[in-house]
Amino acid sequence: MAYSSAFEKKLARKTTRAIVDFDLIEEGDRVMVGLSGGKDSWALIHLLEALQRRAPVKFSLIAVNVDSGYRDYKHETLARTCEQRGWDLRIEHTTIGEIIDEKLDARATPCSLCARLRRGVLYRMATEVGATKIALGHHADDFIETLLLNLFFAGTLKAMPARLVSDDRRHVVIRPLVYVSEEEAREYTERAGLPVIGCCCPVCGDLSLQRQRVKRLLLDLEREHPGVKQSMLKALGNVASRHLLDRRLNPPAELRAEVLSRVDQVSMVT
Ligand code: SF4
């Protein structure tokens, strides 16, 4: 079956590459898509459906929405759209919004607490619906913005994993849009006529100053040097660990010698 457009084919190729590179979807998987109704999660479910119809690997899809409990959130629009498209959807109504209001003072950024609470609900829902994978709509821009945020403001060199096994090893979180840009996700959702639904959280859209600054920086750099973002994404898969200063990656010479001599002893025994 042909893709609906050359653009869809291009995004499907990128998503397939991510699936293969990081072993994201296997035969028989039940993939639970975290569907907020934002452009990225719509793009994700729409693309996965397009792939599902063509991929040699058989997998099923179910969408799950974690409603934070904000009064104006349009979950009826989400439900209606999924019904029209034939997408199986579960909406979990929660009081995450209230919990955040109670726990945090007005100046604190609630996003990390919110993400933890939502992640907990998603894990529980994954067990309930029998999902073997939890797919999230983070795209390439999210990866490189997170890399820069950590580099500039947290003193650590990390982005986010395309595939993450939970600490208790019961859940696998996947990010199949790692090679798809934010602009592509936006355009794909728009072309598909999917209604972008705001999450209604008071800080949503009012991104942290640091993230706004990083976004502006990337925009300026990309204007001046087209391809910068692509290079950053490539760098995430091309780490020269010996050229970093992390002593856990580069142990001192005597420790390295000890490790090597142990390896030698083991190979003589086996
Ligand atoms: S912007 Fe709002 S909904 Fe999004 S992570 Fe932050 S607190 Fe949660």
Q: What separation in Å is there between the alpha carbon of 111 and the centre of ligand 1?
A: 5
Summarize the chain as % helix, strand, coil (round to 5). 50, 10, 40
Instruction: Evaluate whether residue 107 is within a structural domain.
Output: yes
Q: What is the mean pLDDT of residues 96-112?
A: 78
Residue 233 has pLDDT above 80, yes or no: yes
Q: Is residue 268 part of a domain?
A: no
- Predicted confidence (pLDDT) at residue 148 exceeds the cutoff of 60: yes
Dist. CA 78–CA 71, nearest whole Å: 15
Indicate whether 165 belongs to any domain. Answer: yes
| pLDDT: which is higher, 253 or 113 | 113
Q: Which long-range contacts (CB under 8 A, 24 or more apart) does 265-268 make?
A: none
**Mean of the pLDDT values across residues 249-268?**
68
Band of pLDDT at residue 270, cut at 50, 70 and 90: very low
In a domain, 270, yes or no: no
Is 138 domain-assigned?
A: yes
Q: Which CATH number fits the domain that encloses residue 16?
A: 3.40.50.620
Protein residue closest via CA to atom 7 of ligand 1 = 111
Q: Which residues partner with 34 through β-bridges?
A: 64
Is 113 touching ligand 1 by the criterion CB < 6 Å? no
Q: Could you give the number of structural domains in the chain? A: 1
Domain containing residue 56 = 6-240
Give distance in angstroms: CA of 109 to centre of ligand 1: 9
Give the burial class of 183: count Cβ atoms within 10 A of its Cβ; 0-12 exposed, 13-18 middle, 19 or more buried: exposed
Do residues 194 and 42 make contact, with C-beta atoms less than 8 angstroms apart? yes
Residues 208, 109: contact at Cβ < 8 Å? yes
Distance CA 222, CA 144 (A): 13
94 pLDDT band, cuts 50/70/90, is very high
Give domain status of residue 139, yes or no: yes
Backbone angles phi, psi at 31, to 5 degrees: -95, 120
Give the per-residue SS3 of 38-99. CHHHHHHHHHHHHHHCCCCCCCEEEEEEEECCCCCCCHHHHHHHHHHHCCCEEEEECCHHHH
Q: Is the CB of 199 under 6 A from ligand 1?
A: yes
Residue 262 lies in a domain: no
**Would 93 be classed as within a structural domain?**
yes
Q: What is the pLDDT of residues 155-209, one digit of tens each?
A: 999 999 999 999 999 999 999 999 999 999 999 999 999 999 988 877 766 667 7
Q: What is the pTM of this model?
A: 0.90
